Amino acid sequence: MLIGVPTEIKNHEYRVGLTPASVRELAHHGHSVLVQAGAGAAIGLDDDRYEAAGAEIVPDAATVFARAEMVVKVKEPQPQECAMLRRGQILFTYLHLAPDPKQTRLLLDSGAVAIAYETVTDPRGGLPLLAPMSEVAGRMSVQAGAHCLEKAQGGRGVLLGGVPGVPAAKVVVLGGGVVGTNAARMAMGLEAKVVVIDKSLPRLKELDLQFGAKLQTLYSTVDTIEEHVNDADLVIGAVLVPGAEAPKLVTKTMVERMRRGAVVVDVAIDQGGCFETSHPTTHAEPTYLVDGVVHYCVANMPGAVARTSTFALNNATLPFTLALADQGYRAALARDPHLRAGLNIHAGVVTCKAVADAQGLAHQPAEEALRL
């Protein structure tokens, strides 16, 4: 198979779909890889390293999209990239379609086979291609939140861990999954007072056993969220409904009642965000104020640590990329129900029910679509 890797063009996005090691592995399996010139240069993966691994360097994205049978990216395709997709071409990347009707329509019109990293599953019910970026985003959320709490950034002027004689900051984490666990771990490491709120009692028990008395775990209700968001210094939104739009757990009224200079970090913003006051921001302009509360809602947080993120992502995606290339997408999806769960759009129809439900579109199960 001929696989293409374009340079990412989203604001301050420096990750790259394949590392030189991944290219070498694909070449070892008999595949050919096109890499756009400079695709990995920002993170020290220069063109000569890709060439040494067996890739062909091409001058622009148009060449990648025109020639490749499968395009491997990191972030969702931008409108100009969607326009270059063609019927039957495989797109393997993060999509986050539920809150993005425009991208959904462009992909439907293209006729491409769009497989989303974030809805691929594993035998334990996890999301193996989302997990590494969730780990990064969870850890970064505390780093970003601590910075935003500084007075110069519009925050309250609070140090997360306090100092002897001065209380530590209160950090509230909404969601106890991969993002929430990593956020809690980092916040506790900085000696903040940390509360995790989740609706899964088994998950809360696991967190309690893992972290003990250092972490307060609470069952999620509107009352609990309202009470603890109200007096928090930092609130991290870490909820996820796979493939679907994130639930709005924190209302505008709750934000109005928060302390002036408090910070919210909405890691769920890729799926629409879990604060009513959230809207996507970029690394160039990461924050804005609503009722005196600093909002950090960068939609590609792991892009800020692009080198770490690229290698972590490739570790997870490479086996699936190889399966698609070795077997062809129809055979690979037919044989592996977990990879099949990643199919969001196929030849002009929506095959992910959560996306269809979020946008009021017709849904065709992936099994049916693949038989056509």
Where in the sequence numbering do the catalytic residues fall? 96, 270
d(CA 106, CA 371): 23
End-to-end CA distance of the chain: 22
Which residues are registered as beta bridge partners of 266? 237
> At which residue do the structure tokens 């694909």 appear?
26
Tell me whether residue 152 is exposed, middle or buried, using C-beta atoms within 10 angstroms of its C-beta: 0 to 12, 13 to 18, 19 or more.
exposed
Tell me whether residue 276 is exposed, middle or buried, using C-beta atoms within 10 angstroms of its C-beta: 0 to 12, 13 to 18, 19 or more.
middle
Which residues are registered as beta bridge partners of 218? 197
DSSP 283-328: SSS-EEEETTEEEE-BTTGGGGGHHHHHHHHHHHHHHHHHHHHHH-
Q: How many CB atoms lie within 10 A of CB 162?
A: 15
d(CA 349, CA 114): 10
